[in-house]
Amino acid sequence: MKAVSTIEGRAIPLGLKNIDTDVIIPAHWLKTVSREGLGKGAFETIRATPGNPFDVEDFAHAPILIAGDNFGCGSSREHAAWAMLDMGLTAVIAPSFSDIFAGNAFKNGILAVELPQEQVDRLLEVAKDHPITLDLENQVVTTPFQDRFEFRIDPFRKRCLLEGLDEIGLTLGSESAITKHEQMREGAMPWLDKPSRRDAA
């Protein structure tokens, strides 16, 4: 994972609630075996609507998206995070996120920042004409107007993002604990270890 620290730039003021992952990337884009190139299909239905914020020239290559409640609900498709990265988005601000999307965003180095609705409303207003800044180290979102909104983040996720850690590499460091658990499991719950093979059924 690429390390993340400060993200500064224009923010697309989308603001809609319940943006589901079918909206972020429709299913017909999922027929790929790669993580690349999904930006073309990102927010396809919204971008097909005249006057949508993605079409505004100022927001081309904006690194930040501001959305409403329950962003990323629905399907677990990580293609949603890949599509956003591919269109240049590295941070999303919303009042709340679905659990699975928040995880997928994190795994791809996308900073998902939860702020109360009134602060999100303020940022939606500011973002129309001005850049905003997300500072992960200090856990704060700022604007050119002295706004200063602190956000919370899981300390483990923060560390992984700041250091660009490979989570699988970290877990493999717990090899002996995993093996120990497997031995315990084999003794206490042997049925979990031996699903009968189909050909033996």
- Closest CB 148 distance from other proteins, rounded Å: 25
Instruction: Give the position of tokens 């560390």.
Output: 159
Buried-state track 99-112, b at ≥16 Cβ within 10 A, e below 16 = ebbbbbbbebbbbb
Q: Give residues with Cβ within 8 angstroms of 8, minimum separation 6.
A: 63, 131, 132, 133, 134
Q: Give residues with Cβ within 8 angstroms of 114, minimum separation 6.
A: 93, 94, 95, 96, 97, 151, 152
Candidates 3, 60, 162, 178; binder of other proteins (CB under 8 A) is 178
- Residue 99 tokens read as 């659990």
CA distances from 161 to 81, 137, 191 (A): 15, 10, 38
Question: Do the strands 132-135 and 140-142 form a parallel or antiparallel pair, or are they unpaired?
Answer: antiparallel
Stretch of 58-66, 133-141, 143-151, 179-187 contacting other proteins, by CB under 8 A:
179-187
93 forms beta bridges with: 66, 113
Stretch of 21-29, 84-92, 135-143, 144-152 contacting other proteins, by CB under 8 A:
21-29
Q: Which is nearer to other proteins, 146 or 155 (CB)?
A: 155
Residue 146 binds to other proteins (criterion: CB under 8 A) = no
Stretch of 22-30, 56-64, 86-94, 133-141 contacting other proteins, by CB under 8 A:
22-30
Q: Going residue by residue from 87 to 126, which x/- string records binding to other proteins, judged by CB under 8 A?
A: ---------x-xxx--xx--xx------------------
Residues at the interface with other proteins (CB under 8 A): 16-18, 20, 22-23, 26-28, 30-35, 45, 68-70, 73-78, 81, 96, 98-100, 103-104, 107-108, 154-156, 167-168, 170-172, 174, 177-178, 180-182, 185, 189-198, 201
